[in-house]
Structure 1
């Protein structure tokens, strides 16, 4: 039973007829005639559709918890605003889930939930351009991309302004590096910057920004991924956790950019030194398949890793858990079917949003 307040009934009634008539083009066209392209094409025949719709219904009455600032990077439990930030960020997967539920069901209550959530966050949150704090904004970007054509005009324009601020802000930050190869300019931080710029550009259908994103991707492949397939972070942190954390955002960037045909095959792009995203995914395969094991963070050079292990945070000591790479390989399988059998080994079914987006 819907938990949307009676005061919103007029809003719902006013858009419902249009929604049912334009659902098929909801992710591809906005009022400004800008074509937004996405590999994510939700279908009611998806094996994840029923599960996702049930979950979305449970969260239909959830409120918004937008904050002007978030900070989790480099913090241990109960430090600073870590807990408040984690709690507020729970809005984002709910909004993506609602966007997918709308695409699957055409129920206008879900569209309203997304519209209100985007309004709350884009009018409140001030980007700090810390890519670890902000990497999960991909969920909010997905929610916009899936609903852009049918949002209220003011919500759509506010969202586009927010995405442009986000993308341009990261581009400006990267320009300020001036070629510096210091750790945070080439490690997983940069992989997450590349993801955020690419997803913002794809959601805006901004081909010029996408071209810049691909240049950043090329540079990150050259700087971070090594010719043998390992990554810079593995040498620095001695942890497969950080291999996944490096590769996952790059795969997400490749998925977002693919429909636009910019840079052709990002997965197969090979840097002059021989590194490629595909080669790094292949390097991790023996660990993900269980053929090899790895004790995590034993020789890390980063004190924060030892601090997290000391307070008992899961995953920062002991053997690496292969199943923690299931999202990475389910996403990679959408770009290269060679990874599908491994993805299924790691998890018979992907996270419901991945299944709803990509599996028919």
Structure 2
């Protein structure tokens, strides 16, 4: 972080749009470096997953919908099956960068184009949060894709970014909860991938508004009191950290931005650490105000009850430690107690990412 800048200078620096490179998280330098991890266990695991999916036919739906549904309801099961395309295309893209074998690039092209041409943006952020994998796959392959695919993907991403940003100009459904966190994640990743400074600026404004209203003075989030569950604390801050990681890849520090109470997303991680380390415990969903939480438990989804288990924070602490090294020790301690590991793309990204160069964080005003 730079020092010696006045608050006004910082505000002007962050408020003035600048040309942005068109990627979300996996920039050219990171993409090129992936070849160095091809022979690692993680690299080989991704290549094996990509090989296993090569015979898969893209199965995009015009809309996916799982939010608020139980198994067997509506199009939930079809949506879950279709959404398996998303991590598959990220595996293809990672394998392409690690090996340079065109079969993986061609598979990524086939899946990206199919989804960009068939899927209609619904603006339900819970249904669409998994499209982060599609955006990362595009990061890794954009420069090598046919013009037709790039045009289709750019139009798709503009619909995502513009749609969510326009919606957040008002008071969309659940704008004070994790829904808004997922809107911000999708808008941030799509806006940076497009390299559009105005969309990025609008997303940061929404990020600040959400931190101001959702992160409370004691360092937790509104969702914790509504759902009585650390599960929803993670579901709130993970997408915000994905937005922060996207900004960090472009030299911007959103993660440490604080609201008028002096709290931000990093404060929520600080609040979480005692639960990860076992100093505090919590029984999940006991006093939830949301009827659907009880319905899930009644339907046999037992993960929505009982004591919160620290291993559930593996992905969360991995994202946090990518944004701030001080979270590396609790992460390493946690990893010694569980076999659970973060998403594979996070492991590969951690192995090859350059040292971050960040601009100053803004102050609340």
TM-score normalised by length of structure 2: 0.85
1:138 maps onto 2:129 in alignment: no
Q: 1:287 to 1:56 in 2, by over 3 A?
A: same
Structure 1 counterpart of 2:22, from 32, 36, 44: 36
Aligned partner of 1:258 in structure 2 is 248
- CA positional deviation for 1:58: 1.6
Counterpart CA distance in 1 for 2:283 and 2:264 is: 25
CA contact (8 A) 2:93 2:108 kept: yes
Q: How does 1:189-208 map to 2 (within 5 A)?
A: 189-208=179-198
Tell me, which stretches of 5 or more residues in structure 2 are unaligned?
1-18, 353-365
Matched with 1:324 is 312
Question: Which residue does 1:68 correspond to in 2?
Answer: 62
Q: 1:39 to 1:170 in 2, by over 3 A?
A: closer
Whole-angstrom distance in 1 between the partners of 2:237 and 2:20: 30
* Structure 2 residue aligned with 1:106: 100
SS of the equivalent of 2:86 reads helix
**Residue in 2 that maps onto 1:359:** 351
CA distance in 2, matches of 1:116, 1:163: 17
SS, match of residue 297 in structure 1: coil
**Secondary structure at the counterpart of residue 184 of structure 1:** coil
Distance across 2 between alignment mates of 1:124 and 1:169: 17
1:232 paired with 2:222, answer yes
Find the aligned partners of 1:345 and 1:36 in 2 and give their Cα distance: 36
Residue 143 of structure 2, aligned match among 136, 149, 158: 149
Q: Distance in 2 between matches of 1:106 and 1:314?
A: 43
Worse-superposed segment, 341-350 or 276-285: 341-350
Q: Within 5 Å, which residues of 2 pair with 1:302-317?
A: 302-317=290-305
Could you tell me which residue of structure 1 aligns to residue 6 of structure 2?
A: none
| Aligned equivalent of 1:14 | none
Is this contact kept in 1: 2:58–2:111, CA < 8 A?
Answer: yes
| 1:96–1:142 contact (8 Å) kept in structure 2 | yes
Separation in 2, partners of 1:65, 1:158: 17
Shift of 1:159: 0.1
Alignment partner, residue 219 of structure 1? 209
Structure 2 distance, partners of 1:307, 1:243, is 20
Structure-2 residue corresponding to 1:295: 283
Q: Comparing 276-285 with 314-323, which one deviates more in the overlay?
A: 314-323
TM-score, normalization by structure 1:
0.86
1:135 partner SS? helix
Shift of 1:39: 4.5
Secondary structure, counterpart of 2:55 in structure 1: coil
Helix, strand or coil for the counterpart of 2:70? Answer: coil
* Partner SS, residue 334 of structure 1: helix
CA distance in 2, matches of 1:108, 1:340: 36
* Matched-pair contact (CA < 8 Å) for 1:39–1:358: no
